[in-house]
Chain A
Amino acid sequence: MVDLQNVKPYGDTLDDGMVQLSFTPPVALSSVAKEAARQLVASMGLDEPAVAHAEAISKEFSFFVSMQNVSKG
């Protein structure tokens, strides 16, 4: 049953809270940038961030796609 006072995104199962994000930090792609991206997502109050895609857009920009879930509805 959906708890209408605490609705979360439905990804693959009810209440898994799955969210997909994409964003572009103005920094070159590196392992530091990847970890920073993961921490940035975690700081948004999202759980279990996993970077699915990291790509250099240019020398000064990187592009990320990440999967994570919300804990609060």
Chain B
Amino acid sequence: MVSEQLGLGHAFEIDPETSNGFLYELAQAQLVREVFPHSPIKYMPPTKFMAGNIFKGHVQDTLFNVCSIMTGQSIHLLGILTETIHTPLIQDRFLSIESARYVFDNMRNLADEIYFREDGVIQERASEVLEKAVALLEEIAEMGLMQALATGYFADISRTPEGGKGLNGVIIREDGYLNPFIPLMLKGGRTNG
């Protein structure tokens, strides 16, 4: 697939109690944007550190919105202040959209006006994350993807070739089975459209 077809997701998930946490978020968001310049980037809001204090949650979501517009993320998932408490109420959805519009419009071209100093915290953090990612990918390349999955290299979750769920949903195809998309998919190709 071409990069334009390869969507990549990441999230604003640093503990809000972390000093300079926003700088680290900026570093990571900018890094993802620069490493994958042509891929649609799906940027997801904080969830792990959202709690019952909906006002603080709204501020966390605002920082997430700021980080997103400052780093040109392509697909922005809106955070909602009450999402950890109940199905968001209609006014919560309204507030979330209103706040994102406010931030995106007010800060629209901020990214064009700034750059990050070379010896600064943000650049250093981005380099550190990038180096760690490359080292991890090299380790994975050496041991093989399946082994890496089984060892829990991805998000500390272990998935073995024999484990998992869903096998009883797998069926043997009838002789007359037809799915017109499969031959097209297997043919591959590296163009859009």
A residues near B (Cβ < 8 Å) are 10-12, 18, 20, 22, 51-55, 63, 65, 67
Q: A20, B53: Cβ atoms under 8 Å?
A: no
Question: Can you name 19 extra interface pairs (CB under 8 A) apart from A11-B90, A20-B89?
Answer: A11-B89, A12-B86, A12-B89, A12-B90, A18-B89, A20-B54, A20-B82, A22-B54, A22-B55, A51-B52, A52-B52, A52-B85, A53-B51, A53-B52, A53-B53, A53-B54, A65-B52, A65-B55, A67-B86
Q: How far apart are A19's CB and chain B's nearest CB, in angstroms?
A: 9
Interface residues on B, range: 10 to 19
Q: Distance in Å from the Cβ of B44 to the closest Cβ of chain A?
A: 22
- Bound: A20/B90 CA distance, A: 12
The verdict on B87 contacting chain A, using a C-beta distance below 8 Å, is yes
Within 8 Å CB of A54, what residues of B?
52
Q: Which of B52, B82, B86 has the most CB of A within 10 A?
A: B52
Contacts of B51 in A (CB 8 A): 53
The digit string for B139-166, where 1 denotes a CB below 8 A from any CB of A, is 0000000000000000000000000000
Label chain A's interface by main secondary structure. strand
**Within 8 Å CB of A10, what residues of B?**
90
Q: In the complex, what's the smallest C-beta–C-beta distance from A64 to chain B, in angstroms?
A: 9
Chain B 57-94 interface mask (CB, 8 Å, partner A; 1/0): 00000000000000000000000001001111110000
Which residue of chain A has the shortest Cβ distance to B86 in the bound complex? A67
The residues of A that contact B87 with a CB separation of less than 8 Å are: 12
